[in-house]
């Protein structure tokens, strides 16, 4: 035998148990007085002054940024000039040393010329007009520095 299901469900309504918040009380009468007009003008002028100050601040900031860029460019140029100066100083040292060596060589040549002019000294070095060269007696060429 089959049993029939005769169960019935009961619907329970959901009720909001919290009460809505009450509205705040109205402000006292003296708070409803009109706002004076000069207050709005003062506020407007204050906003204008703030905008003016902000523009001035922005201009000063831009000016400082430009000065910073210029300073960095000058600093870079100084570094480059410093490197160039160091290179020139090294070249100057090299040229000074070369000049000193030339002065020594010139002194040696002047001494030899005086010896040759004062005495009849033969060094074994002869000038060949055909070749336009100085040669030692054995036919070899003198050192390039002589």
**The pLDDT of residue 115:** 76
Q: Is the dihedral of CA 43, 49, 51, 53 positive or negative?
A: negative
**Phi and psi at residue 13, to the nearest 5°:** -70, 140
Distance CA 121, CA 118 (A): 9
Q: Which two tokens stand for residue 59?
A: 């201009």
Q: Residue 70, class by beta-carbon neighbours within 10 Å (0-12 exposed, 13-18 middle, 19+ buried)? A: exposed
**Structural domain boundaries in the chain:** 47-120
**The pLDDT of residue 127:** 81
Mean pLDDT calculated for residue range 71-94? 96
Distance CA 12, CA 101 (A): 120
Q: Which two tokens stand for residue 96?
A: 């000074």
Q: Which two tokens stand for residue 7?
A: 């169960």
Inform me whether the pLDDT recorded for 118 exceeds 80.
no
pLDDT in tens, 60-76: 999 999 999 999 999 99
**Phi and psi at residue 66, to the nearest 5°:** -65, -40
Inform me whether the pLDDT recorded for 41 exceeds 60.
no
Distance CA 121, CA 114 (A): 11
Looking at per-residue pLDDT, the higher value among 57 and 26 belongs to 57
User: Contact at 8 Å (CB) between 133 and 141?
Assistant: yes
pTM recorded for the entire structure: 0.40
């Amino acid at each position: 035998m089959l049993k029939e299901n005769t169960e019935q469900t009961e619907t329970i309504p959901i009720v909001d148990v919290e009460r809505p918040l009450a509205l705040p009380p109205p402000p006292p009468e003296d708070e409803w007085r009109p706002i004076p007009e000069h207050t709005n003008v003062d506020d407007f002028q204050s906003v204008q002054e703030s905008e003016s100050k902000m523009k001035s601040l922005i201009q000063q900031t831009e000016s400082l940024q430009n000065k910073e860029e210029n300073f960095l460019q000058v600093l870079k140029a100084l570094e480059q000039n410093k490197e160039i100066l160091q290179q020139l100083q090294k070249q100057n040292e090299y040229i000074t040393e070369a000049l000193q060596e030339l002065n020594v060589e010139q002194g040696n040549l002047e001494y030899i010329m005086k010896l040759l002019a004062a005495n009849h000294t033969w060094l074994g070095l002869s000038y060949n007009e055909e070749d336009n060269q100085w040669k030692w007696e054995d036919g070899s060429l003198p050192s390039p520095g002589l």
